[in-house]
């Protein structure tokens, strides 16, 4: 009788672990698809009215929230308000490159491509918010 109870408990534990594993892998696949499907509106900062705009982007495992200031048609500052990431902290330097080049679609930071994509899209969303103001 004890063997049956132990065997049933082991089978149940294996099934639960398998279900959790499958759900996790599905989440990872959705996250990877969301990153690869990310596009930018490439708002021209010269067309965005002066102001400070907030943008966010979340792909489940990585998210970012930024505040972008536009003055006289130029992106003057980008403040990274939030950046939830696994190992993508190196991507945080991309905001300086966006300011330097005055465009969103700059090269990703090597080793932090997904975080770079998320931060760039958050900036893109902030600029888009400025266009609807």
Q: Residues 48-57: pLDDT tens digits?
A: 999 999 999 9
Q: Kindly state the average pLDDT of the residues 12-16.
A: 87
Q: What backbone torsions phi and psi does residue 46 show, to the nearest 5 degrees?
A: -65, -20
pTM: 0.82
Distance between CA atoms of 115 and 109, rounded to whole angstroms? 8
How confident is residue 133, by pLDDT bands cut at 50, 70 and 90?
low
Residue 1 is predicted with a pLDDT of 57
Distance between CA atoms of 122 and 35, rounded to whole angstroms? 12
Residue 2 is predicted with a pLDDT of 60
Q: 4 or 39, which is more confident?
A: 39
- What is the 3-state composition of the chain as percent helix, strand, coil, each rounded to the nearest 5? 55, 20, 25
The topology under which CATH files domain 45-131 is Sufe protein. Chain: A (3.90.1010)
* pLDDT tens for each residue of 97-121: 999 999 999 999 999 999 999 999 9
What are the domain boundaries of the chain?
45-131
* pLDDT tens for each residue of 59-74: 988 999 999 999 999 9
């Amino acid at each position: 009788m004890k063997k049956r109870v132990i065997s049933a408990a082991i089978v149940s534990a294996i099934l639960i672990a398998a279900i959790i594993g499958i759900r996790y892998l599905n989440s990872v696949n959705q996250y990877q698809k969301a990153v690869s499907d990310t596009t930018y509106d490439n708002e021209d900062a010269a067309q965005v009215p002066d102001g400070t705009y907030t943008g966010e982007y979340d792909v489940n495992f990585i998210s970012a929230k930024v505040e972008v200031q536009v003055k006289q048609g130029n992106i003057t500052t980008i403040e990274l308000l939030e950046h939830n990431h696994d190992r993508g902290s190196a991507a945080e330097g991309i905001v300086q490159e966006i300011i330097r080049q005055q465009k969103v679609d700059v090269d990703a930071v090597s080793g932090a491509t997904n975080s770079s994509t998320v931060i760039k899209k958050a900036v893109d969303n902030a600029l888009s918010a400025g266009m609807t103001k």
